[in-house]
């Protein structure tokens, strides 16, 4: 099982990323003291919206029909707190194809 670190910066952002053989647009937005992930196609049509960026289980477990694979969050903050400046530094996102 190989993991791919999705490069993130510490601000609200949209980025294109190839996961498997498909290009997706990821949108990360900080609201209500938490980070949220939206997954869109390259034309910015929504596929999955409002996924909370929390550690634990696979973020895609309920969305395999949309995006096969797994997304995992690593948060090295004490008590898993989330701050605006933590994304890409203390909060990272990994994808796996299995």
Q: What size, in residues, is the chain?
A: 98
Distance in Å from the first CA to the final CA of the chain: 7
Question: What mean pLDDT do residues 48-73 have?
Answer: 94
List the domain boundaries for the chain. Answer: 3-96
Encode pLDDT of 72-89 as tens digits. Answer: 999 999 888 999 999 999
Question: What mean pLDDT do residues 58-62 have?
Answer: 96
Secondary structure in 3-state letters for the chain: CCEEEECCCCCCEEEEEEECCEEEEEEEEEECCEEEEEEECCCCCEEEEEEECCCCCCCCCCCCCCCCCEEEEEECCHHHCCCHHHECCCEEEEEECC
Encode pLDDT of 2-47 as tens digits. Answer: 899 999 999 999 999 999 999 999 999 999 999 999 999 999 999 9
């Amino acid at each position: 099982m190989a993991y791919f670190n999705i490069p993130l910066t510490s601000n609200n952002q949209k980025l294109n990323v190839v996961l498997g053989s498909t290009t997706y647009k990821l949108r990360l937005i900080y609201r209500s003291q938490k980070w949220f992930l939206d997954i869109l196609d390259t034309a910015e049509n929504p596929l999955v919206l409002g996924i909370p960026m929390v550690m634990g289980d696979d973020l895609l477990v309920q969305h395999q029909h949309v995006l096969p694979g797994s997304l995992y969050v690593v948060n090295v903050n004490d008590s898993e707190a989330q701050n605006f400046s933590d994304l890409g530094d203390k909060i990272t996102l990994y994808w796996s194809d299995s």
